[in-house]
Structure 1
Amino acid sequence: MRSISNLTFGFFLGILGIVMFSSKAVMVKLAYAYEIDAIGILLLRMAFSFPFYLVIAIIYTPKGSFERHSIQIKDYLWVFFFGFVGYYLASYFDFVGLSYIKASLERIILFVYPTLVLLMNRLFLKIPISKAQALAIAITYLGVVITFWEEVAISGRDTYLGGVFVLLSAITYASYLVGSGWMIPKFGVMRFTAYAMIVSCLCVFVHYALTANVDIFQYSWEVYLLGLLIAVFATVIPSFLVSASIKMINASNFAIVAGIGPISTIIFASIFLNEQLTVLQLIGAMVVIIGILLVSRNRTSKIK
């Protein structure tokens, strides 16, 4: 009885975390209505997130000079690299892409990152891809093509640019997942994530200082509220909810929960942004979700 209760609670945490993550794109689009650019809203997201991750880093950093896994200087350099690529670049590309395409389309494109992880593992780590995985990848990209090309016909050629930026976001995030796997056992999930996020925050601060010609304090209160909401409710809290869910229900079950992401974004975008997908685009979105679930299922089966 207790195990069933824990499993149910784990699913609940996973669903809540995914839904909260999915709200990010919608809140970014709402912020753009107040004429703030991608780096501006990204700065607010990171500025409000920074104190949380700094506290986490302090709490989870071992006291004294003892390091359990003999962490070296090069390990910290890798943490910097993964923070730069996996969180700073991925977030920046995503926010820029959102200035050109719908929030619902952004989530559908981002959702292909598990297939990119498989492809990168094959390319760089020589991990083979099974026939079932290859079929699942093909199904996923078929769904993306259906949804994307329909949007091009509706919204025009700017969709190409937005789609490229969001795809770059998915690629950089996938590369982070592939490359950081051997670092997490050394630092631990909480500590590694906090360090990488701190690096990302600092990169955004430097980027804004070097490129922005607008005073960040000139916007209306709604912009700062949205920045705070993105940081707390679409970044910090869901990151811990997802980690807790994976621990309680395992990665295989969580892959099923993750399929809610594009659906919840589509619903949020319809309610708050008045975005509407065509029937063909909804079919494409469902094809993407099915493809990713098949990819995740085959990855888990292979691991077992």
Structure 2
Amino acid sequence: MDKDGNLPAGFIGILVAFFGAILFSTKAIIVKLAFADVKVDALTLLTLRMVFSLPFYLLAAILITKNPENVQLSRKEWMYTIGLGLFGYYLSSLFDFIGLQYISAGLERLILFLYPSFAVLINAFVFKEPIRRNEGAALVLTYIGIGIAYYGELNVDTSNPHFFLGTLLVFLCSITYSVYIAGSGKMIPRIGANKFTSYALLSSTAGVFVHYLVRGQYDLLQSGMSLWWYGIALALIATVIPTYMLSYAMKKVGSTKVAIISSIGPVSTILQAHYFLGEKIFLLQIIGTLLVLAGVLLLVVKTKKVEVV
């Protein structure tokens, strides 16, 4: 505390980042609980998440537009922003939600946490940015870690006929989200982080709504209030509130510290999955998790960049 008895802003920022990361990690838990508790498919659940998140995205976009420093987007910038939004939050979320039907929440979070390493590879092969030594070491650590955890999970989840499909879908989620991360690194310096994020989220919301309307199956919305409460929880607890918490924390302590603190996410998911879903915690999972976190932290400390899902 300072001389007036108040907590330092930096300490408050660290606490906000810590609890924001934990709230983000509840996404997989809420999705798994919804699948177990009510009759719902991935697209319907994702649509409800976006329905209840939409008012906050719209409000943020309106406030940014009214800002005197608002930057006007060119047609090309609009196309990039919309395209990246569809990759980053529509496709990746859809793959993620479907994949969670088939694999554990703990494994899902570990696979998803590979997105920084995929972003490094995209920057190297698409944007011709050289892979530095620390990035190469990080890639090795993360892939060895996920391999160990995956092998342990495969031995535990032997009766699941859709295990490999679920794994593939979450890998696709991580890859599509890494496309968004790599692309956002090119767009944000030009139009600003808040504007890009708000418009990308609105684009992804539109993509989800169009997909849901085209499919035309609306009967699941009548499954009862439990389904709607899960949608509200996904929107507020696992999306909107932690988004603003981490944004606040970045302003107080910087993106590097927030990225490091956010590494609690996979650990939090594994622990929550154990207590709320009855998922087992095993030695190879712990070893793999530690290696993945070490690789991600090596990338974060050197690049000083963060995005959280």
TM-score (norm 2): 0.91
* Equivalent AA in structure 2 for residue 5 of structure 1: P
Q: Indicate which of 263, 266, 281 corresponds to 2:270.
A: 266
Verify: 1:23 aligned to 2:26, yes or no: yes
Over residues 13-56 of structure 1, what are the superposed CA-to-partner deviations in whole Å (9 max), with x where a residue is unaligned? 11111101000000000110112110010011011111111111
Residue 291 (structure 2) pairs with residue 287 (structure 1)? yes
Bigger Cα displacement from structure 2, 70-79 vs 101-110: 70-79
- 1:22 maps to amino acid: S
The corresponding residue for 2:249 is: 245
Moved more, 182-191 or 126-135: 182-191
AA matched with 1:15: F
Instruction: Tell me which residue corresponds to 2:74.
Output: 72
- Percent identity between matched residues is 39
Distance 1:152 1:158, change over 3 A: farther
Could you tell me whether the CA contact under 8 Å between 1:54 and 1:198 is conserved in 2? yes
Comparing 33-42 with 68-77, greater Cα deviation is found at 68-77
Partner of 1:190: 194
- Are the equivalent residues in 2 in contact too, given 1:151–1:159 (CA < 8 A)? no
1: CA distance, partners of 2:44 / 2:72:
39
CA distance in 1, matches of 2:297, 2:217: 44
The alpha-carbon distance between structure 1 residues 68 and 61, as it changes in their structure 2 partners (threshold 3 A), is closer
Contact 1:90 1:168 in 2 (8 A): yes
AA matched with 2:110: I
Counterpart-to-counterpart distance in 1, 2:155 and 2:271: 22
Match for residue 49 of structure 2?
A: 45
**Counterparts in 2 of 1:106-255, with a 5 A limit?**
106-156=108-158, 157-255=161-259
Aligned to 2:14: 11
| Aligned equivalent of 1:98, options 88, 97, 100 | 100
Shifted more, 206-215 versus 182-191: the winner is 182-191
Where structure 1 has 5 or more consecutive residues not aligned to the other structure, the ranges are none
Output the amino acid matched with 1:78: Y
Q: CA deviation at 1:214?
A: 4.1
Of residues 39-48 and 201-210 in structure 1, the stretch that sits farther from structure 2 once superposed is 201-210
- CA deviation profile, 1:121-156 (whole Å, cap 9, x unmatched): 111111111222211210111110111122122223
Q: What secondary structure does 1:181 align onto?
A: helix
Measured on the aligned residues, the alpha-carbon RMSD in Å equals: 2.0
Instruction: Name the aligned partner's letter for residue 154 of structure 1.
Output: V
Shift of residue 69, structure 1, vs aligned partner: 3.9
Partner of 2:35: 32
Distance apart, 1:213 and its partner CA: 2.5
Distance verdict in 2 for CA 1:14–1:132, change over 3 Å: same
Equivalent position SS for 2:102: coil
CA distance in 2, matches of 1:78, 1:166: 24
- Give the 3 Å change call, closer, same or farther, for CA 67–15 of structure 1 in structure 2: closer
Q: Give the match's secondary structure for 1:56.
A: helix
Q: Give the length in aligned residue pairs.
A: 299
Distance in 2, Cα, partners of 1:151 & 1:35: 26
Give the secondary structure class of the aligned counterpart of 2:129: coil
